[in-house]
Copies of this chain bind each other. A is one copy, B any other.
Amino acid sequence: MEIPIGRDILSANDALAARNRALFNENRVLVLNVMGSPGAGKTEFLVQILKILGSGFAAGIIVGDISTAADAERYDVLGLPVVQINTDRFGGDCHLGAHLIEKALGHLDLAGLDLLVIENVGNLVCPAEFDLGEDLRVVVLSIAEGEDKPVKYPLMFRECDAVVLGKMDLLPYLQYDMARVRANLDSIHPQMIRFEVSARTGAGLEIFLPWLRDQIRRKSPAR
């Protein structure tokens, strides 16, 4: 059972991703591709981050799900431009592809944005294979998922620039070994930037935010 079309799909995607990337660079928009398991807490984390990012930065959101507009509705409180992609119209795709981002860009005014956050479909496998044209890849990993995910899903953790260890407020109630998850991250991607946050209590957001603002300013020095 070979899948010879695999390589063709990936190279077609890469060509479209390069086109997206050129557009992002032209408009000096920093683009984050945020990935993670279903229920890792991607939306909650991003809502909290965007709430306190600061009025000096104009952000937009593209959110991918197989079905429902539930996540787009959760972003509504921010009053920011949000485009929801439902992949069930595209065969229930388990990831976002560059062509879907290209379509979504038709609904966003890139020239007016400093930051575009793409929340990918909840999945630790397939999204890592598809370049969307982003500047940075971030994986959100809830500590409720256990310490072994970096070694069990190595491509995701190798491909991402940063990991956000989330739901840290649950630490007292889990048998979770922080030293072990750190060692697992070291074994897969030692240079990975690491954050430990709780979107619910706000802990750790004060470390992530200056890093994010710094990344935005590097892309758009006028900010």
Which A residues are within 8 Å of any B CB, using their own CB?
A: 1, 3-6, 9, 12-13, 16, 37-39, 65-68, 70, 88, 91-92, 94, 97, 99, 121-126, 129, 142, 144-146, 148-149, 151-155, 167, 169-170, 173-175, 200
> Which residues of B are found within 8 Å of A88, using beta-carbon distances?
154
> Which residues of B are found within 8 Å of A3, using beta-carbon distances?
5, 9, 91
A152 contacts B1, C-beta separation under 8 Å: no
A91 and B16 alpha carbons, distance in the complex (Å): 23
A96 and B4 alpha carbons, distance in the complex (Å): 18
B1 contacts A9, C-beta separation under 8 Å: yes
A38 and B39 alpha carbons, distance in the complex (Å): 10
A93 and B66 alpha carbons, distance in the complex (Å): 19
A19 and B155 alpha carbons, distance in the complex (Å): 33
A38 and B65 alpha carbons, distance in the complex (Å): 17
In the assembled complex, the CB of A63 is this many whole angstroms from the nearest CB of chain B, namely 11
In the assembled complex, the CB of A75 is this many whole angstroms from the nearest CB of chain B, namely 14
> Which residues of B are found within 8 Å of A170, using beta-carbon distances?
144, 170, 173-174
Cβ contact of A152, chosen from B4, B65, B144, B200, cutoff 8 A: B65
> Which residues of B are found within 8 Å of A151, using beta-carbon distances?
67-68, 70
Cβ contact of A68, chosen from B123, B152, B200, cutoff 8 A: B152
> Which residues of B are found within 8 Å of A155, using beta-carbon distances?
66, 92
In the assembled complex, the CB of A25 is this many whole angstroms from the nearest CB of chain B, namely 23
Closest to A13 in B: B1
> Which residues of B are found within 8 Å of A1, using beta-carbon distances?
9, 12-13, 16, 97, 99
A98 and B66 alpha carbons, distance in the complex (Å): 24
B6 contacts A91, C-beta separation under 8 Å: yes
A67 and B148 alpha carbons, distance in the complex (Å): 11
Given A151-B70, A154-B66, A170-B170: A39 and B5 within 8 A (CB)? no
B66 contacts A122, C-beta separation under 8 Å: no
**25 A-B residue pairs with CB within 8 Å:** A1-B9, A1-B16, A1-B97, A3-B5, A3-B91, A5-B5, A6-B91, A38-B124, A38-B145, A38-B149, A38-B153, A39-B144, A67-B151, A67-B152, A67-B153, A70-B148, A92-B125, A92-B129, A94-B94, A94-B125, A121-B125, A144-B145, A144-B167, A144-B170, A169-B173
